[in-house]
Amino acid sequence: MSNILKNGNEKEKYLDSIRGSLFGGAVGDALGYPIEFMSEDRIFSIYGRQGIQEYALDSSSGKALISDDTQMSLFTADGILVADALGDLSSASHAYAAKAYMDWLITQEQSFGQFQDQPQRLKKESISWLLDVPELYSRRAPGMTCISALSRKKSGGAFGSIDNPLNDSKGCGGIMRVAPLALRHGNRDSLDSLDKEGAQIAAITHGHPLGYMSASALVHIISRIVYPRQQMSLKEIVLEARDAMARVFAGESYLGTLVRLIDLSVALSENHDDDLANIHQLGEGWVAEETLAISIYCSLRYQNNFSAGIMVAVNHKGDSDSTGAVTGNILGALCGYSAIEEKWKENLELSDVILEMADDLFYVCHADEYGDYEYDRWICKYVKMRRKPDLVKEAPQTQFIAVKGDITKNHNVTAIVNAANTSLLGGGGVDGAIHRTAGPELLEECRHLSGCETGKAKMTKAYKLPCDYVIHTPGPVWRGGQKKERERLASCYRSCLELAVKNGIRSIAFPSISTGIYGFPIDEAAKIAVETSKAFVSEHPGELDVVKWVLFDDITFAAYKDAIEK
């Protein structure tokens, strides 16, 4: 049993149920995955009259492989635990789950090695320590609705939501991944709020009401099992979930369809007919409401027998891994991890990761009792987003330096910044000095850039200057501060730094932009320059080694030196 258990049968019960649900879902998934696209005749011809009764092990790894169902469930858990760790109560869990799904998309598009070899700046949006798990970089028949919805976001679109659905899909890709929300719930939220949040997590990719309402019902059922507020039978919990859907989604035109299917699953579970014939009345599980109905049926019918329940749940002609996974989520929560037969615990792919995540879900609900639970590991995974401390690479500190001198001389930087005018064709002051030193080739290249807006930046070669690049940015003319001069000056620095990072430039030298003939007050310009640059560096750790200001006179040098020290 986990080292977080120090006393009390009550806490053991919670942990056993949480572990059971997450692990049980993976068991059902792995059992059903090899037969997902088989006809019933083929299933029974290969595995006998009872169908598949034990794992079909992968010939290469010797493991029972999980599918995208368990992969995405793990990323759901990771996302909502990051939200908890960061204490971001202003953002609902679904916002972080959505970010975690973008990390899952990486595992479907790249190999582990490809992702690890990427520059740090391309990884900065990732939030999941699961990206440190090589086995997750594998496509296991991922749902194309999930892939297309997340790819749309990657291309600049928005995530889906209940109010702004991306599509009309009610596929089971939404319901099969929401169980972790119920497991981390504890007694902190109202059930109605939790139910709505479960729907929002499904609606990130699946926009049909039956897709997200079914997910909501599953979250309600699992939460009630794991965190009972009164003694209730599984049937009572299912019927309560049905009634909760009618309340939370009152007026939804598809609500009647969901309610009727839940009622049918309950009724069928109480007859004495053949399981397969009953399941055929509920559907095949390719859509969310059918997945829910089949899983409710199997869980009610075999509520004291985890193995029997998941075997019935997968042995049909439909979406076997998803009906197996959701049935495993429910029965695992009900029976507990300790009641799952050893044969399901052996050879399950990523079983250690699944149990690790389950323990973390338990901890976040009981942090007060177990505040010392592997604290460093917790921070590593959900704040620094790496699986192990030795994988956390502290970003080197960027140096902020002010020197007095001529920016056209050698300052050991890759790029210098030119305080240009909007034509980019040269002028007085720093602009003229840079053009004279670089030679006529610089002006010729600038002629092809079509100028540059104030606050923006464009880059050229440096030619005869002692660096590799010149980044040109037109600063604002000071007009008393009433024409957004401060915002435009800050934009100059941010635009230059963005261009530098985009091109792998790690050292850059600025002049004092806009404080010459453009008249910007020196002290204020220095403060904006330093604060904007430091803010940018904090958002891009490890991307820049040196940010330098090369100042021509004593007064300007003193102002920037003071701003850096403050």
Task: Give the DSSP letter string of 324-375.
Answer: HHHHHHHHHHHH-GGGS-HHHHTTBTTHHHHHHHHHHHHHHHSTTTTTTTTH
From CA 216, how far away is CA 246, in angstroms rounded? 11
Q: With contact defined as beta carbons under 8 Å apart, do 107 and 68 qualify?
A: no
Active site residue 58: no
- Identify the pLDDT of residue 1: 35
| Residue in 260, 265, 267, 257 with CA at minimum distance from that of residue 298 | 265
Q: Are the CB atoms for 201 and 76 separated by under 8 Å?
A: yes
The residues near 340 (Cβ < 8 Å, ≥ 6 apart) are 20, 23, 24, 27, 306, 307, 332
Q: Fold match between 12-53+65-391 and 399-565?
A: no
Overall pTM > 0.85? no
**pLDDT at position 246, please?**
96
Q: Where are the domains positioned within the chain?
A: 12-53+65-391, 399-565
88 membership: H or E segment, kind and range: none
Q: How far apart are CA 205 and CA 499, in angstroms?
A: 33
Residue 382 to residue 195: CA distance in whole angstroms: 24
Per-residue pLDDT of the chain (566 residues; tens, 9 = 90+): 344 444 456 678 889 999 999 999 999 999 999 999 999 999 999 999 999 999 999 998 999 999 999 999 999 999 999 888 876 544 578 889 999 999 999 999 999 888 887 766 455 678 899 999 999 999 998 999 999 999 999 898 999 999 999 999 999 999 999 999 999 866 555 888 899 999 999 999 999 999 999 999 999 999 999 998 889 999 999 999 999 999 999 999 999 999 999 999 999 999 999 999 999 999 999 999 999 999 999 999 999 999 999 999 999 999 999 999 999 999 999 999 999 999 999 999 999 999 999 999 988 655 444 444 566 777 888 888 888 776 655 557 899 999 999 999 999 999 999 999 999 999 999 999 999 999 999 999 999 999 999 999 999 999 999 999 999 999 999 999 988 999 999 999 999 999 999 999 999 999 999 999 999 999 999 999 999 999 898 888 888 999 999 999 999 999 999 999 87
Amino acid 230: pLDDT: 85
What's the CATH code, domain 399-565? 3.40.220.10
The one catalytic residue in 103, 275, 360, 431 is 431
Which residue(s) pair with 165 in the sheet?
Answer: none
12-53+65-391 belongs to which CATH class?
mainly alpha
Q: Please, are residues 560 and 551 in contact by the beta-carbon 8 Å criterion?
A: yes
